[in-house]
């Protein structure tokens, strides 16, 4: 599936993101959940900084987290919860916590604000996930390929795409791209909304590298599974 020069992903990815895929990303969006994290719940914890109250964003991260950490401060245009923070402040918040992270997530559409952040992350050996979210549409094959090339050029190590399929044909379009395109990066593909369950299970069984599930009681995307459901899926399909 991957071009030869990118096949040995172990040279560019931390163990928590390497095969066997799919790796389970447990999403934390509440302080109470963070305090109760336990090993074995997932392979990687995504802390959604944008979902936390301002007063709780300086959590004692490494001392409280027994698992590899993915830091995300999602932009409001792609599902972020903080509509007030400036782009400069958003970058600063993630940058100030880089030394606690195994990986960070940043939107491909917001690259202009993050060149120095991504460069510093790479210099520290921190993996960078380039993300794109389509709330009302299914991106075309050509657009998905263009996103992947842009992510590679920008220095991302993984491409994550979430979209909202409206019918089975949309789900199939995503699958066709996932299994037939000659990928230059590991790809995490997932659907949202009414067809989230169908699409996520299909893509995870056909090479999508990451499977996101919420920890605690709060999901962060329409149709998102719980981390426990992700674990059960992986056990059934190995």
pLDDT tens digits for range 71-129: 999 999 999 999 999 999 999 999 999 988 999 999 999 999 999 999 999 999 999 99
157 part of a folded domain: yes
pLDDT of 137 reads 92
When mean pLDDT is compared across 10-14, 28-32, 48-52, 214-218, the lowest value belongs to 10-14
Residue 238 resides in a domain: no
The predicted model scores a pTM of 0.93
Q: Which domain holds residue 53?
A: 4-233
Helix (H, G, I), strand (E, B) or coil at 13: coil
Cβ(36)–Cβ(45) below 8 Å:
no
- Report the CATH number that the domain containing residue 21 is assigned in CATH: 3.20.20.70
Is residue 63 in some structural domain?
Answer: yes
C-beta neighbour count of 99 within 10 angstroms: 10
Q: Give the chain's domain count.
A: 1
Do the strands 158-163 and 225-226 form a parallel or antiparallel pair, or are they unpaired? unpaired
pLDDT digits (tens, 9 = 90+) for 175-211: 999 999 999 999 999 999 999 999 999 999 999 999 9
- CB neighbours (10 Å) of residue 117? 18
Rounded distance between C-alpha atoms, residue 15 and residue 6, angstroms: 16
């Amino acid at each position: 599936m991957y071009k030869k020069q990118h096949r040995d992903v172990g040279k560019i990815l931390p163990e928590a993101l390497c095969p066997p895929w799919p790796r389970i990303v447990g999403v934390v969006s509440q302080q109470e959940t963070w305090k109760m994290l336990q090993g074995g719940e997932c392979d990687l914890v995504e802390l959604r900084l944008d979902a936390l109250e301002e007063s709780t964003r300086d959590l004692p991260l490494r001392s409280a987290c027994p698992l590899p950490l993915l830091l995300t401060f999602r932009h409001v245009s792609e599902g972020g919860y903080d509509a007030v923070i400036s782009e400069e402040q958003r970058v600063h918040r993630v940058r100030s916590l880089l030394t606690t992270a195994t990986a960070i997530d940043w939107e491909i559409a917001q690259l202009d604000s993050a060149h120095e952040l991504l460069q510093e992350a790479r210099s520290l050996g921190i993996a960078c996930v380039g993300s794109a979210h389509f709330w009302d549409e299914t991106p075309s094959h050509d657009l998905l390929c263009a996103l992947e090339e842009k992510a590679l050029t920008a220095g991302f190590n993984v491409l994550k795409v979430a979209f909202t399929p409206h019918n089975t044909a949309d789900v199939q379009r995503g699958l066709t791209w996932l299994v037939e395109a000659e990928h230059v990066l590991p790809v995490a593909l997932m659907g949202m909304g009414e067809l989230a369950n169908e699409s996520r299970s299909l893509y995870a069984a056909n090479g999508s590298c990451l499977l996101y599930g919420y920890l605690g009681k709060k999901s962060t995307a329409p149709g998102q599974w719980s981390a426990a459901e992700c674990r059960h899926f992986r056990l059934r399909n190995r």
